[in-house]
């Protein structure tokens, strides 16, 4: 059963300009030290496209949770790992609290992430579904 879906798209050039203007501090506003430490930009991606994809994934996940990024769900509450194939999302803090509130008793949540970049755009789509657990 589907309980949430979110999508986001971003011009990579816009993200690149912000990264050039504000440097690492810009990344630290959105990504945790753990995320930044494990980030390895693939040979086929620029740094801007790599982080723009992750940014879109966080936005899409927050939308799927029904909150967006706000006082209850923070940037750091949604962690994106592009080192795995497919990329994954891990929740903590307010995001995991929100997910628990959305998940009916007797069900387990599953987060599916699709992300990519092409033609100067980064995009991500997140679907949150639940499956019944054995009782």
Binding site per annotation, positions for Mg(2+):
8, 59
* DSSP category for residue 133: P
- Tell me the Cα Rg of the chain: 15
Please name which of 94, 99, 89, 32 lies closest in space to residue 57, comparing C-alpha atoms: 89
What's the rounded Cα separation, in Å, for the pair 3 and 120? 31
Q: Which residues belong to the annotated binding site?
A: 8, 59
Q: How many residues does the chain have?
A: 135
What's the rounded Cα separation, in Å, for the pair 6 and 22? 28
Asked if 122 and 129 touch (Cβ cutoff 8 Å), the reply is: no
């Amino acid at each position: 059963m589907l309980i949430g879906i979110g999508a986001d798209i971003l011009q990579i050039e816009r993200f690149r300009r912000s990264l050039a203007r504000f440097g690492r501090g810009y990344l630290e506003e959105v990504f945790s030290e753990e995320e930044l430490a494990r980030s390895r930009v693939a040979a086929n991606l620029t740094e801007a496209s790599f982080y723009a994809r992750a940014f879109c994934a966080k936005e899409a996940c927050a939308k799927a949770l029904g909150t967006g990024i706000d006082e209850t769900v923070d940037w750091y509450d949604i962690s994106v790992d592009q080192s795995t194939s497919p990329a994954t999302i891990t929740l903590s803090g307010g995001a995991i609290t929100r997910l628990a509130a959305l998940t009916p008793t007797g069900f387990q949540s599953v987060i599916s992430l699709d992300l990519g970049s092409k033609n100067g755009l980064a995009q991500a789509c997140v679907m949150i579904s639940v499956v019944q657990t054995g009782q």
